[in-house]
Amino acid sequence: MVKFSKELEAQLIPEWKDYFVNYWLLKKHIKKIRLSRKPKQVAQVFSNSPGQYCSDFGHSVFDPIRNFISLISLKLHTSGSSCNGDHNEVVRHKSTENQDHVDQEEALHEYNDTELSQLFSEEDEVKLFFDMLDEELEKVNRFYTAREAEFLERGEGLLKQLQILQDLKPILDQRRRKSFLSPKSSLHGGFISRSNSNSTSSRHSDYSEGTDESSQTDEVIAALEKNGLNFIGAATRSKTKKGKPKMALRIDIPVTTPARTISAVTSTLWEDIANTPSKNSPREMINRKKIQCAEKMIRGAFVELYRGLGLLKTYCTLNMVAFTKILKKFDKVANRQASASYMKTVKGSHFISSDKVVRLMDEVESLFIKHFADNDRKKAMKFLRPQQQKDSHMVTFFVGLFTGCFVTLFVVYAILAHISGMFSPGSKDESGYMETVYPIFSTFALLSLHLFMYGCNLLMWKSTRINYTFIFEFSPKTALKYRDAFLICTSLMTSVVGALVIHLILRSSGFSAQQVDIIPGILLLIFLVMLICPLNVFYRSTRYSFLKVLRNIVFSPFYKVLMVDFFMADQLTSQIPLLRHMETTACYLLAGTFKTHHYDVCKKGTMYRELAYVISFAPYYWRAMQCARRWFEESDPKQLANLGKYVSAMVAAGARLTYAQQQEPTVFCTILVVVTSALATIYQLYWDFVQDWGFFNPTSRNPWLRDDLILRKKSIYYISIVINLVLRVAWVESVMRFIKVGNIEAKFLDFTLASLEVFRRGHWNFYRLENEHLNNVGKYRAVKAVPLPFRETDSDG
């Protein structure tokens, strides 16, 4: 049977952990009460009693008499004398008996004093326990009341948004029907005035146009007020000098796509160039697309509200069970019946007696079924209560199977390569084999290593209760688990090493290089087909989410930047060697080098060398554009500082690439590479430790760290700082080349340095998400805040 403490730790909400009942602290205090009830000195006083009466009969006022009788019988038994004993012996025994009687009375007196002191000590511990219990109850009530008020306010605003949406839908349908009957009227239909518009429509309209729009606006507002929407208010009916309403309803659709972004930016620029006051701003057209976007936003807000109410209900239930369990433990240890009376106080507290959350939850559920699921409860529950994917033992089995296959195939490959002399110095196949196989093998190896590190991250985040699914906004139903990541990694590497073994066997069997060297290309093609396969196999939801994130990264300035987007972009900055290997592989396949075996065609080409700069700059450029987008939306100066970090990394990457392409680098070029790389590294280390990990807080109670730490041992954090520092400066070896090696060894050294960077990134990932999780905990963010589409604005008259 699982202990409740472990069950509570597994079920509590990580972001609200500090506001649950501190069950573990109360449990420790009950242990103190148990220890205070144990007699200590009495056991020592009566431990030397020959008759062991303490253990057999307990303590009594007749103990001295029993001890006297036992002493007399013991003496008679040992002496073997008759009843006519010596008078002196009797006198001696009497004096001994009198002395023992005095000692026993003193012992009883000391026992009574000890019992009283223990009784007072126990009462103090009990009083302290109930004081702690009162503090915990007050903490739970206070937190529950604050969250309840927050969700009730959210629900009230959301109900008004839904009512507006339901009122606008028939008006839009009516306008569409009129547009079919009267084509000319469609040019002026469906508008609501607004003060700050992002539309790019015409800035000038004639008087009749304004009159039509105003009359239609009156119809919309009259319809909204007719259905009881008082928050628009009577002010909406008052007009300006031009006959336009002073209050206007605005539809705010987030600029999350390139089309909306371009429209918003061009509209803002046009307003700045034309210098047109807001009172002459264009009117906002209500069309079907905007209504659909608004409906989708409100649906998402309902889902998050329902999830938040469910979490609050779980919070209430777990705390109630915790109070019940801890009071039962107290009754058992203290031998009292205090749980019944105190549980009346608990049940009468606000977090138990209030039913507002349950009623709002039922109302949200019924509204969602009616308006967003066509009265289909089963369909609605897929949104409101998504089922988490159950762990399968088959996944664990296949992880072990593919791991064993990978190790076996790798050993076979190493033996065959040694026998065939493929990597022997001066071998005729050495250069060709390294040019054809090495880039693709390195690509898949680095990708598999990154997947392995990501699987380790998922395992650590789960074990430390870091809510990564909420941070990345993953769907609980399709979120990738650590076993799945390990399965993808091991199956991919097994396929790659198996292809290498087949390639090596065919080459050793006498097949021509033109026939065999196409195998790596076939392997890459299979991988790309599996990545875009539309069938619901091989983790389709994860594959499509990955492609969607890559699209958002490539078009960074035009898509709204989410946590998963810039987190993935950071991963790409550590995979520049992989992108370079993909460039080499693409050139090898597209240029037909696998047929001609002229391997210098790619390396000596001007386009290849210029493309190398683009590939080296691209991840940093994408990440910098994400920072620019976030600065544009949030006006946070930290984003500009973060942008500067990636610009410095671009400069350092360009300098190192130029240095590597020179046969005999000059001293100036060497100094330039060292200076730019050192500055970029210092910049990156500062951002890693201070901004991403939250370390080096001067006021922290943990020296050189932050106040809140998830891992118990502080030494792990200090070791991690050193590891990140060492791996950040690994570029020194790639520039200075302290280790003198040949061609093959140099490629393996580059692969090792690239692997160390992937390892550093996986190591960085854990602490980055730990810091993000602790920020959510500090702000009680357990549910996502969804922006609402409808709001009212003032119109200048």
Q: Is 386 helix (H, G, I), strand (E, B) or coil?
A: coil
CB environment 349-373: b (16+ within 10 A), e (fewer)? bebbeeeebeebbeebbebbbebbb
The token pair that represents 75 in the structure block: 């003496």
pLDDT in tens, 62-85: 566 656 555 565 454 444 444 344
Q: Is 248 helix (H, G, I), strand (E, B) or coil?
A: strand
The token pair that represents 27 in the structure block: 């449990």
Residue 179 buriedness (CB in 10 A; 0-12 / 13-18 / 19+): middle
**Nearby residues of 204 by Cβ (< 8 Å), 6 or more positions away:** none
The percent of residues above 90 in pLDDT, for the chain, comes to: 45
pLDDT in tens, 129-178: 889 999 999 999 999 999 999 999 999 999 999 998 888 888 877 777 77
Is residue 196 within 8 Å of 281, Cβ to Cβ? yes
Highest mean pLDDT (candidates 189-198, 262-271, 274-283, 747-756): 747-756
pLDDT at 2: 62
pLDDT at 105: 47
How many H helices and E strands in the chain?
A: 30, 4
Beta strand 191-192 pairing with 284-285: antiparallel
pLDDT at 475: 86
Give the type of residue at 673: V
- Could you tell me how far CA 475 lies from the centroid of its own chain? 12
**Nearby residues of 293 by Cβ (< 8 Å), 6 or more positions away:** 253, 789
pLDDT: is 107 or 431 the higher one? 431
pLDDT in tens, 525-577: 899 999 999 998 899 999 999 999 999 999 988 899 999 999 999 999 999 99
Q: Which of 459, 428, 715 has its CA nearest to residue 597?
A: 428
Indicate the pLDDT class of residue 127, thresholds 50, 70 and 90: confident
The token pair that represents 168 in the structure block: 């606008």
Q: Which of 401, 534, 98 has its CA nearest to residue 90?
A: 98
Q: Which of 556, 530, 555 has its CA nearest to residue 543?
A: 530
Is residue 557 within 8 Å of 628, Cβ to Cβ? yes
Indicate the pLDDT class of residue 3, thresholds 50, 70 and 90: confident
Mark out the alpha helices in 509-557 (DSSP H runs).
Answer: 513-516, 519-531, 540-554
40-44, 72-76, 226-230: least confident range: 40-44
pLDDT at 497: 93
Residue 248 backbone dihedrals phi, psi, to 5 degrees: -135, 150
Give the residue carrying structure tokens 């730790």: 9
Mean pLDDT across 501-524: 82
In the predicted structure, residue 354 carries a pLDDT above the cut 70: yes
**Nearby residues of 778 by Cβ (< 8 Å), 6 or more positions away:** 708
Mean pLDDT across 444-457: 95
Give the residue carrying structure tokens 């060709």: 432
Indicate the pLDDT class of residue 50, thresholds 50, 70 and 90: very low
The whole-angstrom separation of Cα 561 and Cα 570 is 13
Give the type of residue at 526: I
The percent of residues above 70 in pLDDT, for the chain, comes to: 72
The whole-angstrom separation of Cα 350 and Cα 329 is 24
Highest mean pLDDT (candidates 117-126, 230-239, 436-445, 675-684): 675-684
Is residue 35 within 8 Å of 50, Cβ to Cβ? no
Is residue 349 within 8 Å of 137, Cβ to Cβ? yes
Tell me the average pLDDT of the chain.
79
Give the residue carrying structure tokens 């028939």: 170
pTM surpassing 0.85?
Answer: no
Give the residue carrying structure tokens 């790389």: 677
The whole-angstrom separation of Cα 39 and Cα 37 is 6
130-144, 259-273, 346-360: least confident range: 259-273
Hey, what long-range contacts does 425-428 have (CB within 8 A, 24 or more apart)?
A: 425/742, 425/744
Q: Which of 485, 481, 480, 483 has its CA nearest to residue 453?
A: 485
Indicate the pLDDT class of residue 266, thresholds 50, 70 and 90: low
Indicate the pLDDT class of residue 485, thresholds 50, 70 and 90: very high
In the predicted structure, residue 456 carries a pLDDT above the cut 90: yes
In the predicted structure, residue 768 carries a pLDDT above the cut 50: yes
pLDDT: is 408 or 600 the higher one? 408
Q: Which of 418, 421, 423, 420 has its CA nearest to residue 747?
A: 423
The token pair that represents 32 in the structure block: 């103190």
pLDDT in tens, 710-755: 999 999 999 999 999 999 999 998 888 887 777 778 888 999 999 9
The whole-angstrom separation of Cα 786 and Cα 468 is 18
In the predicted structure, residue 54 carries a pLDDT above the cut 50: no
pLDDT at 455: 96
pLDDT at 447: 94
Strand partners, 277: none
Mean pLDDT across 452-456: 97
In the predicted structure, residue 89 carries a pLDDT above the cut 50: no
Q: Angle CA(512)–CA(514)–CA(515) in degrees, nearest 5?
A: 70
339-347 and 87-181 helices, crossing angle to 10°: 20
Hey, what long-range contacts does 510-518 have (CB within 8 A, 24 or more apart)?
A: 513/432, 513/594, 513/597, 514/594, 514/595, 517/432, 517/436, 517/594, 517/597, 518/594
